[in-house]
Amino acid sequence: MNIPFSPPFIDQDTINEVVDTLQSGWITTGPKVKALEAEVVKLTSCPQALCVNSWTSGAMLVLKWFGIGPGDEVIVPAYTYSATALSIIHCGAKPIMVDVREDFTIDPAKIEEAITSRTKVIMPVDIAGLMCDYTAINELVSSQKNKKLFIAETEKQKQLGRILVLSDAAHSVGASFDGKVAGSVTDITIFSFHAVKNITTAEGGVICINLPTPFNNEEEYKLMRLWTLNGQTKDAFTKSQSGGWKYDILFAGLKVNMPDLCAAVGLSQIKKYNNELLKKREAIAIQYHSFFQEFEWAQLPLMNDEKRKSCFHLYPLRIKGISEIQRDNMIDIISKLGVSVNVHFIPMPLLTLFKDMGYHIADYPIALDNYSREISLPIYPQLMNEEVKYVCESIKEAYLQVLNAND
Ligand SMILES: Cc1ncc(COP(=O)(O)O)c(C=O)c1O
């Protein structure tokens, strides 16, 4: 068997939606993007949703909107994809990395230790689709102590009067925390619609705007939308209407809008997300759980607890008692058996850029332990029962081979 890791979900509805866009004569930002934004609002109950061309550009946009720049600090987990920290570096600010918990999510106790008068934003990451402890994080930013420490330097910072919580929800569309769906739990939530994500637009992302009073979320949507289009007062669609040629540039915005051609792909998926795509992912996670729970050497990922429900973006299995080299050997064997697996993630302090910046992996022992024993298994709606069984047997076979090699 040959089992890919994460092929995109493309069915006839996707093709029809894309063809409809091509035939409409309008392919960049326009009605399909608006429709996708409306679907995101429906799915998440967030007040406003703004599509962009990637998670990364969305994060840079929000950081710039909040006035983040040199001298500012943004707290992130050491255990994430580098884009989380790169978005901060691109704004001239400093990522402050903290360790994670055993369940892969950022440790609120470590966040508390890292907060200084320079902290402007916290970016928790919902790894694999499991949301962070947002009760603790939202309490931290609202505490009198941390509000007093916060130095507001821009109009938006003054309006908020505290540290902004910007969730890296690249993995967590459809996940929930304390009865609320991702998108309506923190100030700002950004999903990724990259090709391997639960919902895709090939490349893309969406910013869920859920700011507290005195913010007017609709006004902030309009302002952020200007940020996606060079700070220009009229988008291409409006300009294309007769007599609509005149425009102004209000500030140095970015150019990170989502085209309708991409939105069409996401639109076809989001409509069947809760009732079809998410259910299939959950069924596969349950199938993996029931196979691996019999083996003492398998550490199953947390999918639910009393507050959280995952959206099963990844199935991050860990193997108890193995070294990083043994894990790598297991992956070689699994690959030879025709199964593509992955590792999420190489902690950032192990990567050259961050090592050169002075981050040390020794400061993040749980991130290192999680990484060194982790193997992400294929999980996507098209995966058939027989294929899941084959993945399970391949993992078991690789474990036995690696273990026997050490006898
Ligand atoms: C945790 C995390 N954050 C951010 C990103 C970046 O997303 P995008 O490729 O849409 O910029 C990814 C992408 O894989 C990710 O896994």
For 316-352, write each residue's pLDDT tens digit.
999 999 999 999 999 999 999 999 999 999 999 999 9
Unique residue bearing structure tokens 């550009």: 57
Whose alpha carbon is nearest atom 14 of ligand 1? Answer: 81
Q: Residues 143-158: what's their mean pLDDT?
A: 98
CA of 329 to the centre of ligand 1 (A): 27
Would you say the CB of residue 192 lies under 6 angstroms from ligand 1?
Answer: yes
CA of 344 to the centre of ligand 1 (A): 11
CA of 401 to the centre of ligand 1 (A): 34
365 with 304: CB under 8 angstroms?
no
Residue 239: per-residue pLDDT: 80
Ligand 1 atom index nearest CA of 205: 10
Confidence class of residue 406 from pLDDT cuts 50, 70 and 90?
Answer: low
CA of 255 to the centre of ligand 1 (A): 18
Residue 230: per-residue pLDDT: 97
Of 154-158, 172-176, 235-239, 382-386, least confident by mean pLDDT is: 235-239
380 with 7: CB under 8 angstroms?
yes
Pairing verdict, β 164-168 and 119-122: parallel
CA of 180 to the centre of ligand 1 (A): 22
Q: Which of 187, 189, 125 is closest to 156 using CA atoms? A: 187
3-state secondary structure of 370: helix
Would you say the CB of residue 235 lies under 6 angstroms from ligand 1?
Answer: no
Would you say the CB of residue 58 lies under 6 angstroms from ligand 1?
Answer: no
Residue 352: per-residue pLDDT: 98
Strands of the 48-52 sheet, one edge to the other:
48-52, 205-209, 188-192, 164-168, 119-122, 73-77, 94-98
Q: Which of 104, 74, 79 is closest to 92 using CA atoms? A: 74
Would you say the CB of residue 128 lies under 6 angstroms from ligand 1?
Answer: no
Would you say the CB of residue 129 lies under 6 angstroms from ligand 1?
Answer: no
Residue 289: per-residue pLDDT: 98
| Predicted confidence (pLDDT) per residue in 252-286, tens digit | 999 999 999 999 999 999 999 999 999 999 999 99
CA of 169 to the centre of ligand 1 (A): 9
| Predicted confidence (pLDDT) per residue in 61-109, tens digit | 999 999 999 999 999 999 999 999 999 999 999 999 999 999 999 999 9
Would you say the CB of residue 6 lies under 6 angstroms from ligand 1?
Answer: no
Would you say the CB of residue 81 lies under 6 angstroms from ligand 1?
Answer: yes
Residue 38: per-residue pLDDT: 98
Of 125-134, 205-214, 244-253, 340-349, least confident by mean pLDDT is: 244-253
3-state secondary structure of 315: strand
Residue 326 tokens read as 């043994």
Residue 149: per-residue pLDDT: 98
Would you say the CB of residue 257 lies under 6 angstroms from ligand 1?
Answer: no
Indicate whether 407 pLDDT > 80.
no
Ligand 1 atom index nearest CA of 344: 16
Q: Which residues pair with 397 in a beta bridge?
A: none
Query: Does the bond joining 259 to the residue before it have cis omega, within 30 degrees of 0?
Result: no
Q: Cα(354)–Cα(357) distance, rounded to whole angstroms? A: 5
pLDDT > 90 in the chain, percent = 95
Would you say the CB of residue 262 lies under 6 angstroms from ligand 1?
Answer: no
Residue 404: per-residue pLDDT: 86
Mean pLDDT of the chain: 97
Confidence class of residue 237 from pLDDT cuts 50, 70 and 90?
Answer: confident
CA of 304 to the centre of ligand 1 (A): 23
Would you say the CB of residue 232 lies under 6 angstroms from ligand 1?
Answer: no
Helix, strand, coil percentages for the chain (3-state, nearest 5): 45, 15, 40
Would you say the CB of residue 172 lies under 6 angstroms from ligand 1?
Answer: no
Pairing verdict, β 308-309 and 374-377: unpaired
Q: Cα(194)–Cα(212) distance, rounded to whole angstroms? A: 29
Ligand 1 atom index nearest CA of 125: 1
40 with 272: CB under 8 angstroms?
no
Whose alpha carbon is nearest atom 7 of ligand 1? Answer: 55
The long-range contacts involving 245-251, CB below 8 angstroms and separated by at least 24 positions, are 250/226, 251/226
Q: Domains for the chain: give ranges and CATH numbers.
A: 12-270 (3.40.640.10), 273-405 (3.90.1150.10)
- Exposed/middle/buried for residue 116 (C-beta within 10 Å: 0-12, 13-18, 19+): exposed
Q: Cα(11)–Cα(265) distance, rounded to whole angstroms? A: 10
Would you say the CB of residue 56 lies under 6 angstroms from ligand 1?
Answer: yes
Indicate whether 36 pLDDT > 90.
yes
Whose alpha carbon is nearest atom 16 of ligand 1? Answer: 81
| Predicted confidence (pLDDT) per residue in 101-127, tens digit | 999 999 999 999 999 999 999 999 999
Would you say the CB of residue 125 lies under 6 angstroms from ligand 1?
Answer: yes
Indicate whether 249 pLDDT > 70.
yes
Ligand 1 atom index nearest CA of 127: 1
Q: Residues 215-239: what's their mean pLDDT?
A: 93
Query: Does the bond joining 193 to the residue before it have cis omega, within 30 degrees of 0?
Result: no
Ligand 1 atom index nearest CA of 57: 11
Unique residue bearing structure tokens 């799915």: 43
Ligand 1 atom index nearest CA of 56: 11
Choosing from 82, 87, 192, 254 the residue with most ligand 1 atoms within 8 A of its CB, the one to mutate for a pocket test is: 192
Ligand 1 atom index nearest CA of 204: 10
Indicate whether 369 pLDDT > 80.
yes
